[in-house]
Amino acid sequence: MGLSKCGGAESVDVIVPVYRGQRYINGIISQLEACLEGMERELKVGLILVNDAPDDVFREEYVSETIDITVVETDQNRGIHGARVRGLSYCTGSCVVFLDQDDRLSKNYFQSQLASLGSADAVVCRAVNGAREFYDCGRRFEAAVSVQNMFSVGNGILSPGQVLMRREAVPRFWKEHILRKNGADDWMLWLCMLYEGKRFVRNQDILYEHILGSDNCSESAFDMYQSELEMYAVLREHDYLDREYRRQLRQAVQNGTKVRLRELDRLKAAAGIYDLWLEAGAGSVAQVLKRRACHKIAIYGMGKIGLRLYQELRGTFEVVCFIDRNAAYIRTDIPVYTLEEAALQADLVIIALTDKENQICSEVTSRLQLPAINIKDILLESKLQLADGDDKKWL
């Protein structure tokens, strides 16, 4: 089954709920225009901007030479689910994409997604989350839209912008039962589609980027938890799912809470490291390494702490590589290896993690026959030396 034609061209509508986000609109238009420039076949694209803030009327008229733009003003705040459904009612295209106002799309988005869709109902591409690939060895892309994972593990799709779907495949139940709490309506959409037998295919291309620290409501763990509870309640109260799927979904929502609590512990540990860093002062790690006569450094863990450490050391020391279990999913100019792959010459390996760091120190030392120390111990050493220096001033 191919795409239906609209005026002789294939047609896709992009729905963007806008909540106090007028500053993003011109960027969205530019992205979609760039996507059209790379098309090898004719494509009709409609952009439907749903203003979900009634007191924030759009100040300018948005136009494009290649995109049909529809602005939908609102008389009330409907939330992101309600805004998406309202935008859907204005669609004429055979396919639809739900985009958040601060999303970023590759210029190959339409070309690649349409080529991968085939006869399926929806296609999901790979994604980048905060400048790092979202899928890795702990979150497998192969399981992203499996029925088993979606019901019993959780939402394997980072954001609806990853998905191009046939408009006719959007379930009636999802359109008629609007969640009031923002956050879980996309998970509900995938659950409804899978439950009704809609077929997803995967596109291996990375075509979508989610921006961390943006206006996206998914950044709030508490709001997301409330939305997931509401989603489960709606599906249960309307007897939409059979008993086994309800049981699995209830467990998935509960597991999501445990995952967020573990993430909270990691964030607290990371905050403690950053506090130590601030107390020790700029260049504190470098001072410790100089006293230890270290010149070549390897960093274990290419997360935020590892990257922060790299920024402090580069230019003063030779950072020979990163070591990360997800090396295959990381794209950067500096070499990145798994521990099993690493064969390197270095004076020291610094463990830039907040979890199991002592265990990993031992593994690194045993496997690589190199000294290893975690970043927290380096900062504590720097802080003690700083305090010792302050004490000597009074002697």
Annotate 47-80 with DSSP letters as a single string. Answer: EEEEE--TTS---S----SSSEEEEE--SS--HH
Residue range 12-65, pLDDT digits in tens: 999 999 999 999 999 999 999 999 997 888 999 999 999 999 899 888 899 999
Nearest CA to 189 among 231, 153, 217, 136? 231
How far apart are the C-alpha atoms of 145 and 217, rounded to whole Å?
Answer: 22
pTM of the shown model: 0.89
Residue with tokens 């597991």: 255
Tell me what pLDDT residue 9 has: 58
Tell me what pLDDT residue 74 has: 83
> Mean pLDDT in the chain?
91
Fold for 278-392, please state it: Rossmann fold (3.40.50)
How far apart are the C-alpha atoms of 104 and 214, rounded to whole Å?
Answer: 12
Tell me what pLDDT residue 362 has: 96
Q: Are 374 and 285 in contact (CB under 8 A)?
A: no
Q: Are 188 and 84 in contact (CB under 8 A)?
A: no
How far apart are the C-alpha atoms of 306 and 322, rounded to whole Å?
Answer: 8
Type and span of the H or E element at 348 = strand 348-351
Residue range 78-111, pLDDT digits in tens: 899 999 999 999 999 999 999 999 999 999 999 9
Q: Are 269 and 355 in contact (CB under 8 A)?
A: yes
CA dihedral 391, 285, 289, 298 (to 10 degrees): 160
pLDDT band at 8; cut points 50, 70, 90: very low
Residue range 210-233, pLDDT digits in tens: 987 555 555 688 899 999 999 999
Tell me what pLDDT residue 392 has: 44
Token output for 228: 């997931």
243-280 and 284-291 helices, crossing angle to 10°:
70
Neighbours of 40 (CB within 10 A): 7
Domain extents in the chain: 5-241, 278-392
Is the dihedral angle over the CA atoms 192, 102, 224, 269 positive or is it negative?
Answer: positive
Token output for 38: 């790379």
Residues 6+ apart with CB under 8 A from 182: 79, 80, 81, 217, 223, 227
- The region of weakest confidence among 105-119, 197-211, 255-269 is 255-269
Nearest CA to 306 among 317, 294, 293, 319? 319
Candidate CATH numbers 3.40.50.300, 3.30.70.120, 3.40.50.620, 3.90.550.10; the one for domain 5-241: 3.90.550.10
Is the dihedral angle over the CA atoms 353, 354, 359, 362 positive or is it negative?
Answer: positive
From the number of C-beta atoms within 10 Å of its C-beta (0-12, 13-18, 19+), residue 232 rates as buried
From the number of C-beta atoms within 10 Å of its C-beta (0-12, 13-18, 19+), residue 371 rates as middle
